[in-house]
Structure 1
Amino acid sequence: MQLKRLVAIAVIVISIYACKEDNSAEEEHNKELAEIVEQEKIIEFGFNINNYIVKRDTIKKGDSFGEILERNNIGYSQIYNIVEKAKDTFDIRKLHPGKPYTLLFSKESLYDSLPSPNTFIYQPDKENYVVINFKDSIHAYTNRKPITYVEKTATGIIQSSISKTLEDKGLSQKLAYKMADDIYAWTIDFRRLQKGDRFKVIYTDKYIDDSIYAGVHNVKAAYFEHNGDSLYAFEFETDSIKGIIDYFNEDAKNLRRAFLKAPVQFSRISSRYNLKRRIAVYGYKVRPHKGTDFAAPIGTPIMATANGTVIESTRRGGNGKYVKIRHNDTYTTQYLHMSKRLVKKGQFVKQGDVIGKVGMTGNTGGPHVCYRFWKNGNQVDPFRQKLPEAKPISDSLKVKFLDYIKPIKQRLDNIFFLEVELIETENTITEDPIL
């Protein structure tokens, strides 16, 4: 009898533990399922994409917002309401061919004979997007994808060119452009680099959504050994209101000159400033040419050669479309024959800002920009002028600058020329999207 009772108790205990084990196994299974579901959650544009049927496409030439919605079974009256409600947030006429858009459909719409979307998302560029939601009520908003900045360092030893050196290391060619055009444009002729010249650079790469590479954001500091000289460069903002950033050496001397050598990159001079020029078309009569022509393909960006204020942005006679910039009481520049003007009268522009595109408007025999240069009200040849250096750093900022660059210079000096030329740092900054 006693034995039977012990056996019964044992069976009950085993059953209880078995139940607990079964429950534990079930809970663990449910937990794993929940983790799998969570892992599959894909957030894009603020939506869990897995909850929708997603249709992606690009704006075609001739497409309009209304036509896109009509093709996707939305009626005219609803389209009108959507446009009216969204117009204060986004002008639907500004859809550009080639830009991507996304339509979100509810999964229930699978059972509809004519499924229609409830959300339209347009991407004018890689970073920004516009959401027009018309699921229940109609509302529209703009937002930006999360941006991450990763600070990196790189070194290189020149064998033939800086572009080839960077290419061999798998680094962005934008680093070459920034060093050649933004930093050392007036101190190093990059067409005459010597074998054995070497450089170090601290720069920041930009990523969208943590994974989409968006290029080099900025160069924080650089060091270049060339012709026996050691050339440091440190980025520093000298005017926070106008957003003016210059590069200075370790003694706070500005590395830039007041004016760029040319308003377009990778171009050739097709006609120089010449007051005695004779043209066959005009019977070889003297027709002074008071500008310098830079030949370049139509659409090539035209840059302001110095900081200044736009005093004219218009079209007139033989000049075609042009922009004129006053830099100070002494200097003014003008850029003729544009296909498109990108700045307005009264706008402040910085050196290197794109102010227009190369074209053939006005009197011109081919695509180029005629660059005109005034000194004290008279048109002169910019290549024969002793142009001033860029504005020096103020005494009040000099102390701040020297303190600022101390740790950066120390870090730059501690970067060695190694076989592994690219070193990523732990300095990563993520910008949350603007809600």
Structure 2
Amino acid sequence: MKYLLYVLLLLVSFSCQNNEKDKNAVEKKIKKEPIIKKYGFTFNDFTVVEDTLQSGDTFSTILETYTLPDSLKTFDVTEKIKDSFNIKNIRAGKPFITLSDKKNKKNIKALVYVQDKTSYLVVDLRDSIKVEVKKRPTVIKRRTVAAELDGSLSETLSRKGVSASLANELAQIYKYSIDFFKLKKGDKFAVTIKEKYFENGEYLGVDEVEASYFEYKGKKIYAFPYKINPNQKKVEYFDEKASGAKSMFLKAPLSFFKLTSKFTTRRFHPVQFTWKAHNGTDYAAPHGTPIKTTASGVVEATGYTSGNGNFVKVKHNSKYATQYLHMSKILVRRGQSVTQGQIIGKVGSTGLATGPHVCYRFWKNGVQVDPLRLKLPTSEPMTKKQKEKYLAHIAPLKKELEDVTAKTFKE
């Protein structure tokens, strides 16, 4: 009897082990081939080759390594691609994927070229030639982040789970009002941002800054993006009182220069050898250096005189105008609208000049003045109606910054 019981126990144990083995085998079989869906295809249905473009690769050279469906030729496919995509834009180092028949790996069914993280080109050859440029679906999420600086701004943002690249964008927004090298530990800031994600949750970075402020030297400095004119291409930034975050004028018409002669009522002229007023500021720079308009406006005059050489004069509004002399080349025409920082000419030594430089002249209410001694305005002020509309727009954004700030720093 004991022997029989022992045999029964062995059989039960063996059966359980077999069942466990069978169960594990089934689980392994299920896990062996997960369903993979990418770029609009179920990869499991094809032989998939993921590769990277090498120097010299083209759509033609890729397709020529495969057998196309009946009646199709490589030329037909590339011509169809041209209708939707500039084939000259493919670049070495970019990923591409070929999907071919599962039984015959040489029979290509589709090709995918990945332009960047969000965009890709699909060439579907299954029924006919179908070419589409598609974008991976993205989701925009909005949040307000408030923090005290601890280390650099980029490090502080990273600890909040925000892309460190936002630090550079904020530095550009506040470049006229904050010296970011002088920010210190404990300085506070808050920013409302829109961030982009793929549907699977992968973080793509900051898409837009909606509002922000920094506590700098004991003062809160706000910045809100806004378009005074709905048709303008770029947003400008204004504070909580509707004053522009940037200066209306650049400090100089050149990026790199040497200041050689200031505005003065009495200067010995190096060419005419006489004492006379110098109603401009001279910036020396190599021949051909780009000259920038210091503020947006309309080109009032261009031309040549024996004293000024090649020159451009820009009217900025009813109050201000600037002029740029001794150019080697003029790059704008009379009546043309120009934006701050736009290249309007090249440094030269035309007219009465001993060497390559630009003489920068500045008018206020029709009188030439010294811009280096002038308290220059921020970007052109809004009208009363524009200001009312702007303040109504930023009111909820400002309150949101303040509410999150109060909650964060109370904690």
Superposition TM-score, scaled by structure 1 size: 0.60
Instruction: Give the deviation of 1:198 after TM superposition.
Output: 0.8
Match of 2:208 in 1: 218
- Among 64, 72, 75, the alignment partner of 1:70 is 64
What amino acid does structure 2 have at the position aligned with 1:251? K
Instruction: Give the deviation of 1:96 after TM superposition.
Output: 1.1
Match of 2:327 in 1: none
Match of 1:401 in 2: 390
Match of 1:235 in 2: 225
Q: Counterparts of 1:83-102 in structure 2 under 5 Å?
A: 83-102=78-97
More contact order relative to length (CA 8 Å, sep ≥ 6): 1
Per-residue Cα deviation, 1:53-101 (whole angstroms, up to 9, x for no partner): 2222222112122111123345997111111222211122221112222
Give the conservation status (yes or no) of the 8 Å contact 2:146–2:408. Answer: no
1:414 aligns with 2:409: no
Q: Counterparts of 1:62-211 in structure 2 under 5 Å?
A: 62-74=56-68, 78-110=73-105, 115-182=106-173, 184-211=174-201
Give the conservation status (yes or no) of the 8 Å contact 1:148–1:210. Answer: no
Structure 2: how far apart are the matches of 1:375 and 1:106? 72
Secondary structure at 2:203 match in 1? strand
Per-residue Cα deviation, 1:234-290 (whole angstroms, up to 9, x for no partner): 2223233233212211111111223567999xxxx87535479xxxxxxxxxxx963
Structure 2: how far apart are the matches of 1:371 and 1:159? 45
Structure 2: how far apart are the matches of 1:177 and 1:52? 44
- Among 40, 44, 52, the alignment partner of 1:50 is 44
Q: More deviation in 165-174 or 401-410?
A: 165-174
Match of 2:23 in 1: none
Question: What value does the CA root-mean-square deviation take over the aligned residues?
Answer: 4.8
Secondary structure at 1:254 match in 2? coil
Per-residue Cα deviation, 1:121-154 (whole angstroms, up to 9, x for no partner): 2222222222222222112121211121111222
The structure with more radius of gyration: 2
What amino acid does structure 2 have at the position aligned with 1:162? L
Secondary structure at 2:76 match in 1? helix
Gaps of 5+ in 1: 1-35, 277-287, 294-302, 311-323, 334-345, 356-369, 422-435
Identity %: 33
What amino acid does structure 2 have at the position aligned with 1:126? K
Structure 2: how far apart are the matches of 1:348 and 1:246? 18
What amino acid does structure 2 have at the position aligned with 1:54? V
Number of positions where the alignment pairs a residue of Structure 1 with one of Structure 2: 321
- Measured at CA, do residues 420 and 376 of structure 1 come closer, stay the same or move farther in structure 2, by a change above 3 Å? closer
Instruction: Give the deviation of 1:220 after TM superposition.
Output: 0.9
What amino acid does structure 1 have at the position aligned with 2:379? A
Superposition TM-score, scaled by structure 2 size: 0.63
Secondary structure at 2:107 match in 1? coil
Structure 1: how far apart are the matches of 2:149 and 2:377? 31
What amino acid does structure 2 have at the position aligned with 1:272? K
Secondary structure at 1:71 match in 2? coil
Gaps of 5+ in 2: 1-29, 263-281, 300-311, 325-334, 344-355, 364-369
Secondary structure at 2:400 match in 1? helix
